[in-house]
């Protein structure tokens, strides 16, 4: 009787220990799974943030380099000045197009601004092709090798044909149609500083004769990510922030670029 009692007690303690060990094991597994999920989500969010930052900074760099060239004419070629006037032209909620009558704006349903930059290249200020030709913003050769040529580059936001991804587009005068430059760019906004003005203004507030007197451009790029973010996240280029309910993260990048070749630069 005494042995059976001891054996029963031993078996009872073993069962309880097994249940406790199983519960602890499940708890540890659940904690590891939760930690793995958290780390994975953090990594994905960090990667998405890095991609947005790369897209925003690349866009600013690409457009800044071009805007700095606006209105440039190589020394000794003043006759070409008329071919690039104005060296800078923008559109509010639209993108610029060149017609026989000059530059005009076409409405953009997305509300994004557009800009065109024109300058004369001397095969030194841009990266030439292997044949020595001047290139536009797409790297497409223009004109004959070694000869000064007028470059006209237009930047605007469009939507890709596959999946509807917003992208920054560039359309040069190298013979190619518009081409995507940076993926994820959802909106462009430009403000222009006119010589003597107290504040920057939108393109629709710039008089036709004042484009030659623009001394700097404020660029704002809004980039859309692929991951979810806080609902109703207010991120936009305008002072009155817009709330979005698609759950996607967004970032805004800004830069002010001085115009080196505006009409009064040398006076």
- Give the tens place of pLDDT for each residue, 234-248: 677 876 556 565 778
pTM of the model: 0.78
**What is the pLDDT averaged over residues 103-116?**
86
3-state secondary structure of 236: coil
pLDDT at 127 (0 to 100):
75
pLDDT at 43 (0 to 100):
74
> Residue 113 pLDDT > 60, yes or no?
yes
- Token pair 């690349």 is found at 58
Which of 244, 246, 190, 186 has the alpha carbon at shortest distance from 214? Answer: 190
Top pLDDT among 185 and 241 is at 185
pLDDT at 216 (0 to 100):
95
pLDDT at 207 (0 to 100):
92
Please say whether the dihedral angle defined by the alpha carbons of residues 64, 239, 188 and 216, taken in this order, is positive or negative.
negative
- C-alpha span between 78 and 75 (Å, rounded): 7
Q: Residue 77: beta bridge partners?
A: none
Which of 75, 82, 155 has the alpha carbon at shortest distance from 117? Answer: 155
Residue 221 near residue 252, CB atoms below 8 Å: yes
- C-alpha span between 157 and 184 (Å, rounded): 10
Q: Are strands 179-183 and 185-194 parallel, antiparallel or unpaired?
A: unpaired
- Highest mean pLDDT among 51-65, 79-93, 106-120, 233-247 belongs to 51-65
Those residues whose C-beta lies under 8 Å from the C-beta of residue 104, and which sit 6 or more positions away, are: 96, 97
Q: Residue 166: beta bridge partners?
A: 159
pLDDT at 245 (0 to 100):
59
Say which range, 5-9, 219-223, 257-261, has the weakest mean pLDDT: 5-9
- C-alpha span between 55 and 61 (Å, rounded): 10
The domains of the chain are located at 42-258
Top pLDDT among 190 and 235 is at 190
pLDDT at 2 (0 to 100):
52
**What is the pLDDT averaged over residues 36-43?**
77
- C-alpha span between 98 and 171 (Å, rounded): 11
> Residue 231 pLDDT > 60, yes or no?
no
Those residues whose C-beta lies under 8 Å from the C-beta of residue 116, and which sit 6 or more positions away, are: 88, 89, 90, 96, 98, 103, 152, 153, 154, 155
Top pLDDT among 83 and 214 is at 214
pLDDT at 146 (0 to 100):
67
Assign 12 a pLDDT band (cuts: 50, 70, 90): low
């Amino acid at each position: 009787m005494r042995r059976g009692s001891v054996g029963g007690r031993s078996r009872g303690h073993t069962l309880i220990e097994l249940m406790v060990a199983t519960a602890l094991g499940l708890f540890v597994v659940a904690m590891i799974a939760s930690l793995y999920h958290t780390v994975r989500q953090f990594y994905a969010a960090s990667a998405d943030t890095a991609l947005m930052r790369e897209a925003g900074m690349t866009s600013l760099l690409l457009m800044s380099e071009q805007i700095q060239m606006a209105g440039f004419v190589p020394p000794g070629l003043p006759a070409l000045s008329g071919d690039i006037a104005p060296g800078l032209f923008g559109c509010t909620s639209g993108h610029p197009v060149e017609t026989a009558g000059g530059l005009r704006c076409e409405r953009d349903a997305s509300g994004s601004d557009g800009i065109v930059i024109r300058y004369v290249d001397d095969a030194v200020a841009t990266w030439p092709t292997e044949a020595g030709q001047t290139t536009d913003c797409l790297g497409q050769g223009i004109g004959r090798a070694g000869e000064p040529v007028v470059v006209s580059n237009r930047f605007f936001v469009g939507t890709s044909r596959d999946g509807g991804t917003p992208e920054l587009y560039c359309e040069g005068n190298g013979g190619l149609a518009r081409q995507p430059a940076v993926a994820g760019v959802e909106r462009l906004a430009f403000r222009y500083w006119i010589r003597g003005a107290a504040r920057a203004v939108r393109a629709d507030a710039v008089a036709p004769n004042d484009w030659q007197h623009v001394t700097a451009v404020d660029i704002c790029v809004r980039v859309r990510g692929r991951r979810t973010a806080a609902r109703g996240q207010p991120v936009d280029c305008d002072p009155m922030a817009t709330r979005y309910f698609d759950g996607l993260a967004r970032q805004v990048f800004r830069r002010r670029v001085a115009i080196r070749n505006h009409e009064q630069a040398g006076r």
